[in-house]
Amino acid sequence: MTVEEANQLLEQALPLVQRLQRLHETILHTNQQLDGHVQKLSVGNGYPIEELRGRIEELTATQGKLLEEFQTALQQLEDLGCVLKDVSTGLIDFYSLRDGEVVCLCWRVGEERIGFWHRMEDGFAGRQPLP
C-alpha cells in the first residue's frame, strides 16, 4: 500500500480505532467489576449469594457482547488493510514496500497523517519520518 492510499484510509480507520479504544476501556472496567463480584462470592462473608450470582451472569453476558463487538470492529479495521498494534494509544500499521522490502507505515490517533515508517522487525521504537 502506498502512503497516499493509507492516508485515504485514515478517514475510515479513525472511527474504528476510536471504537476499539472505547470498547477496550469498557471491557477492562467490566472485567474489574466481574472480578470483584467473583471474589465476594468466593469469600462469602454475608454477601447475598443469589444476587452476586445474578450480577456475575449479567456481567458475563455483557462481556461476551463487548468482545463480539470488539472482534467485529477489529475485523473491519483489518479489512481496510490496517494492523492494530496498540489499542490504548490507537497505534496502527499499514504494510507497504520500500526499496523492495516490506515495511510498515505507522500511524496513531492524534497524528494528522501518516508521517512515519519502520521496518517490520524494528516496531514503533524504530519509527522514522517519511521523506
Contacts of 130 (CB under 8 A, 6+ apart): 3, 105, 114, 115, 116, 117
Question: Which of residues 38 and 94 earns the better pLDDT score?
Answer: 94
Q: Could you read off the pLDDT of 57-114 as tens digits, one per residue? A: 899 999 999 999 999 999 999 999 999 999 999 999 999 999 999 999 999 999 999 9
Q: Could you read off the pLDDT of 8-23 as tens digits, one per residue? A: 999 999 999 999 999 9
Looking at the chain, how many residues does it have? 131
Residue 50 CA to its chain's centroid (Å):
35
| Whole-structure pTM value | 0.86
Please report how the helices 3-43 and 49-79 are oriented relative to each other, as an axis angle in degrees rounded to 10: 170
